[in-house]
């Protein structure tokens, strides 16, 4: 069984879909979520971890002098739990070189658009969907990609499209995209863990 560590900052609906896939879906007997790490104590994702009896850790950025120390504290947790794959799931912090070097090609992220479009610094949450609507795109979607030292930049592992309809708002688009993310992320994880 491969061990997945999930980094979160918020709701964690993708975390939930990964947990479900490990319990009874396409990741059953392949992987398990062994730790959930959050930079926010109030992230609902932490409650999801608790409900599923998965160890969770709150790493408080404010208790470190530098960002690197904060990042090292996350690294220590991932190493302690002997994580094979790190999945970012709405993790709103920069991933530093210490993590990228320690987990080469083993850190992945999900982004709510068809990268390389609508990615990069500042492109997160509602900003992404607002930009897609403003550009009058006919389609959007989600992308799972490797994490490198630039925002939303590493190689794409899997993508899924959703149509953008004329009456879509950033809110309706966000809902549609999040829904397909829940299918896509476990599939992408399977591809990685099976080395395909």
Q: Is 140 in the site for ligand GRF (CB under 6 A)?
A: no
Q: Indicate the residue among 5 and 112 with the shorter CB distance to ligand GRF.
A: 112
Q: How far apart are CA 52 and CA 159, in angstroms?
A: 28
Active site residue 145: no
Q: Indicate the residue among 34 and 178 with the shorter CB distance to ligand GRF.
A: 178
Query: Least distance in Å: CB of 168 to ligand GRF?
Result: 16
For ligand GRF, the nearest residue by Cβ is 90
Cα angle at 151 between 149 and 152, to 5 degrees? Answer: 115
Beta strands in 133-172 (DSSP E): 139-146, 156-163
In the chain, % helix, strand, coil (3-state, to 5) comes to 40, 20, 40
Q: Is 119 in the site for ligand GRF (CB under 6 A)?
A: no
In contact, 124 and 48? CB cutoff 8 Å: no
Contact residue for ligand GRF among 40, 48, 106, 111 (CB under 6 A): 111
- Cα distance between the two ends of the chain: 17
Q: Is 141 in the site for ligand GRF (CB under 6 A)?
A: no
Spot the catalytic one: 111, 126, 145, 153.
111
Q: Indicate the residue among 100 and 174 with the shorter CB distance to ligand GRF.
A: 174
Tokens of 168: 């879509």
CA Rg, the chain, in Å? 16
Query: Least distance in Å: CB of 15 to ligand GRF?
Result: 6
The secondary structure element, H or E, covering residue 134 is helix 126-134
Q: Which stretch binds ligand GRF (CB under 6 A): 12-20, 28-36, 94-102, 132-140?
A: 12-20
Q: Is 178 in the site for ligand GRF (CB under 6 A)?
A: yes
Q: Is 5 in the site for ligand GRF (CB under 6 A)?
A: no
- Residues annotated as catalytic are 111
């Amino acid at each position: 069984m491969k061990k997945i560590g999930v980094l979160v900052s918020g709701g964690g609906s993708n975390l939930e879909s990964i947990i479900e896939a490990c319990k009874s879906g396409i990741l059953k007997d392949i992987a398990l979520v062994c730790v959930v790490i959050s930079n926010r104590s109030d992230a609902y994702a932490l409650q999801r971890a608790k409900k599923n009896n998965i160890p969770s850790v709150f790493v408080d950025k404010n208790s470190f002098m530098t960002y690197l120390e904060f990042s090292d504290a996350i690294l220590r947790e991932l190493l302690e739990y002997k994580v094979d794959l790190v999945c970012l799931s709405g993790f709103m912090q920069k991933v530093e070189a210490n993590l990228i070097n320690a987990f080469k090609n083993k850190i992945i992220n999900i982004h709510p658009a068809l990268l390389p479009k609508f990615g990069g610094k500042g492109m997160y949450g509602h900003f992404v969907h607002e930009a897609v609507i403003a550009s009058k795109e006919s389609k959007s979607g989600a992308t799972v990609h490797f994490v490198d030292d630039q925002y939303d930049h590493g190689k794409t592992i899997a993508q899924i499209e959703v149509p953008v309809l004329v009456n879509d708002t950033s809110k309706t688009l966000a809902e549609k995209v999040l829904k397909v993310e829940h299918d896509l992320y476990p599939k992408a994880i399977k591809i990685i863990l099976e080395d395909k």
